[in-house]
Every structure is written in structure tokens, then in C-alpha cells.
Amino acid sequence: MNQGDVEIRDITMSFGSNPVLRGVDMDIPHGQVTALLGANGAGKSTLIKVLSGVYPQHGGTVRIGGEPVHLITPADSRNVGIETVHQRIDEGIIPGLSVAENLLFERIVSGTIRAISSLRSMLKPAKEVAQALELDWSDSFLRKDVFELGIADKQLLTLARALSRLPKLLVLDEPTSALSQVEVDRLFEVIRRMRTRGVSVLYVSHRLSEIESLADNLVVLRDGTIRGGQRAPFNWDIALTHMLGEQAVRAMEEFQERRGTQVCLSMKSIKLFQRSKPFDLTVNKGEVLGVVGLLGSGKSELARGIFGADKFLEGTMKLGGIGFRPSAPAAAIKRRVFLVPEDRAAESMLPGWSIAQTVSLPFLKQFTPGFILSFGAERSEGLRIIEDLGVIATGPDQDVDALSGGNQQKVVVGRWLQGEPQLLLLDEPFRGVDIGARREISRKVRFVAGHDDAVIVLTSDIDEALEVADRIVVLVDGEIRFDSYVTQTSREQILSKMSEVA
């Protein structure tokens, strides 16, 4: 038994009468990356929270180097050398504090750094923490309230804080979901360095290409139990069968490319950034348009501009041949243009709201005959979306923020589908979503487009775009560099266009 080996034995966890973990047994060897693969709702996040001390009321035992550890609080986990970066980024940051204070938060709590220290005195140690990911953050950036940061910078902050302490076990739950490819490559270099130093890594990701390039071992969790394990190189047919079941794997059929002949949205001389050149773009009825771009490419700006959340610097639009210039999202919604935003937790959900309430929010008039909200109609629609999209939930009254990431996304997508969109915009719709849920959302998205409506899927992942889209547009620094139907291009050609510089 190596001092850094982590053993997980007969871990059980239930919420009320609902068992989530059913006797999980797995090993995370010293100096190796072990990937944990599983569908949304399989129990991955629950297992991670057991290891991070969030759920102390579990059954079973965790050992490090052969010695049992007692994980009663998150501080206990950190004290025995377990560092966790959670999928829900807001769980790892404290709004109202600066970036520097967030980077040094554990030191402040432990008293290593005095809570009344000046922010100026914290800048140097904060930069040392940031260097764990080779982040050259300026003094002005470190002084910012962390609330002002974008989702990618929040992700980098939580990663740098965890990596700076050289843990015995590093748990990473979807760590690349908001990162650009350059940042992903940098993170992978750091993980490989930590592996050579003997750190055990538990890596959770739905991106199979990441697991293929990084992991030494693969473990599949399904319905709260371990269904299979492999050493690299991995057999993905076996892994996916363990993860989803044979029936679900057989149901994954290739779709037929569709080409629309009528224009849904016409965009002329659109300018996203001061530095970028204007472009034209048409979105056809009956098609799914995949807009592929890295962080900073302008894809979120494009989505928000169409939805009326922000204004384009220049340009005009027509929707269904009629002028379209929404002054606010409410104006876009009236024209049946809907957006599933990039950050579902911050922009699509309210803490403590049920599935039924979340579903009805944009369309309250539909659930309000007269002047009184019909709770029965609201619950019925929530139940319909649960059944239609295969949401794993106890029912329409369950809090939406208690669901797994993939099931939250199904609820958010299903909410907008009930409004019969003329144009549906989905910004990073598969972030933190397993391959099974991804296929289910893709199926519904293509169903919408197939009924003479249009869909735009905006993503940084080429494979996700190729899976759902009929046509691919590559956006680089606010400009369109490529536009082709999927049958006339290749993954390599798209990647080449994404990496081009002006």
C-alpha cells in the first residue's frame, strides 16, 4: 500500500428514502489519474461531496495510505490532503470578496493571514497562488470583486487555489467546462506534473477525448454502483454500455443532414467588437446551425445580441422577413426567439425554486387564467417536461438546484421548448452534461428545427457541434471565418479554421 493510494470502500448515501450511492468500491492509485465516468444522476457529484466532507452522514470508509480518514467537514478533507474543485463554480467562490481574498480564503479562515490585513498586503501571496496555473493576473484584476468575473476566470480561480496546496488527492469535477483550449492545455500540463509528484487525481468529465488523453484508469458509475473499470487504452464501446445500458447505446443513431430553403433570420453587417469586421449571416428554417468558437470568439455576444440582452455595435436583422431589433429579451420572446444562456445556474435558475416554477417563469400568462396562477397547470407542465426529456427527479415539486447538471439543463431547455420557438438559441448547452443527456437534448433540438423552425447551437466543442448541427459556422475574434454544411467539411478543417489568426 502506497502512502498516497486512496481506497473507497462500501460508500452508501441516501436522501430520505432515495438511495444515491449503493456500496461504491473503487481505488485511486498514487500518482495516477483515475477518470470517473457516469450519466447525470449516476451519483458522481454525491460521491465527490462525500470525499470533500460535504456529506458526512454517509456509510462506508475512505482510506488514504491504508489509514481511515474521517471526513466530517470540508476542512477535515483539506486537512487530510483532499482538494476538490466542484462542477458548480459558485460553490467555490465568495461574492463580495476580491479575487485575491478568494485565492487566499482558506489561509484567512485558518488565521495564517489576518482577516484584517489590507488588500494591498494580500496581492503578493495571491499572485503566488495564481502561479500554480501560471496565471499572470495584474494587481487591478486581483482587487476586483469576484462577482464581476466571467465563468472562465472563476473556474481558473478555484483551480489555482486547489492546485497551489499540492494535495494527496485532487478531485476535479468538470474542470474544463468553461475554459478555452489554451487554458485546458495548461491545466493538463499541471495535472501531469502533479501526477509525477505522486498526487492521486480523480477526474470527472463528460468529454471522452479529455479522458482518453489524460487518464490512466477509467471507472464507470451507474445508478450509484460501480459497473466497470479499465486501464488505458480504453474500450469506449464497453465503457458507454456500462454507463448508459445496451438499449440506450443502440438508440444513438446518426441523423440525416437537413438543408433549409427558407430564411428564418437574416443578419447584415453585424459588428461584435470594435476590432472586428462586420459580417453577414443567414439562419435557415429547418436547420440546426452550429456556431463554433473558442473563449473570446464572440459567440456569446452573438447570442445575446440576437436575444436583445445586449446591443450589436452595428448591423440589422430580419426575422421571418420582418425587421427585428429587440430592445430587451422580452421583445425577443414576443417574437418567439428564446435563449438558453451559457451559465444556467446564474442566468436560468432561481435558488429554491421547483422544477414546475422554473418551467413556468417566462410564460406566466399561460398559467394564469384570470388573475390567479394555476399551480395545477404549472405542475402538469413540469411533469410533462420531466417525462418528455427523461429528467431524473422525484417530481415537478423538486428544487431545480438539487438536480444534477444534465437534468438542470434538460429542464431549462424544456422550458423554452414549450413556447414553440421560431428561433431557439443555445449557448454551451452541453456544458457539464453527460453523453446520454447530450443525445437527448440534441434529439429534441433537431425535432424543433425539423418543424420548420431554426436553432442555433453555440459551443467551443467541435464534436458537440458535429453531433447536433446541419451546418457549421466558425467564429474567430468576432468574425466568421468558415461556413459549411457538415457533409462538406471535416473535424480537422473546422479545427484549422478555429485556430487561424487574423
So what's the pLDDT on residue 244?
74
Note whether 356 and 435 are same-domain residues.
no
So what's the pLDDT on residue 254?
55
Helix axes 435-450, 375-389, angle to 10 degrees: 110
Contact residues for 131 (Cβ-Cβ < 8 A; gap 6+)? 160, 164
So what's the pLDDT on residue 115?
64
pLDDT averages per 10-residue partition of the chain, 502 residues:
79 86 92 89 88 92 91 90 81 83 81 74 85 83 86 80 83 80 81 86 87 92 90 88 67 67 94 93 93 86 94 94 94 93 81 88 80 85 87 89 83 83 90 74 83 88 86 92 90 80 50
d(CA 410, CA 425): 14
Note whether 317 and 429 are same-domain residues.
yes
Note whether 158 and 190 are same-domain residues.
yes
Residues 95, 101, 102, 105, CA torsion sign: negative
Q: Which contiguous run of DSSP H or E holds residue 37?
A: strand 33-37
So what's the pLDDT on residue 502?
45
So what's the pLDDT on residue 33?
94
Domain end call among 196, 224, 250: 250
Peptide linkage before 233 cis (omega within 30 of 0): yes
Residue recorded with cell 473503487: 26
Note whether 438 and 459 are same-domain residues.
yes
Joined grid coordinates for residue 44 = 458522481
Q: What is the DSSP letter of 422?
A: S
Query: Contact 38/205 with Cβ under 8 angstroms?
Result: no
Residue recorded with cell 479522458: 211
On whether residue 341 sits in a domain, the answer given is no
| Structure-derived torsion over alpha carbons of residues 232, 235, 239, 241, reported in degrees to the nearest 10 | -170
Residues 284, 287, 293, 297, CA torsion sign: positive
Domain end call among 419, 438, 459: 419
Note whether 383 and 500 are same-domain residues.
no
Q: 360: how many CB neighbours lie within 10 A of its CB?
A: 26
Note whether 83 and 11 are same-domain residues.
yes
Number of domains in the chain: 3
Q: What is the CATH number of the domain that holds 228?
A: 3.40.50.300
In angstroms, the Cα distances linking 181 to 188, 211, 330, 369 are: 10, 15, 34, 49
d(CA 218, CA 8): 15
So what's the pLDDT on residue 114?
72
| Pairing, β 169-173 against β 82-85 | parallel
Residue recorded with cell 500500500: 1
Domain end call among 250, 276, 311: 250
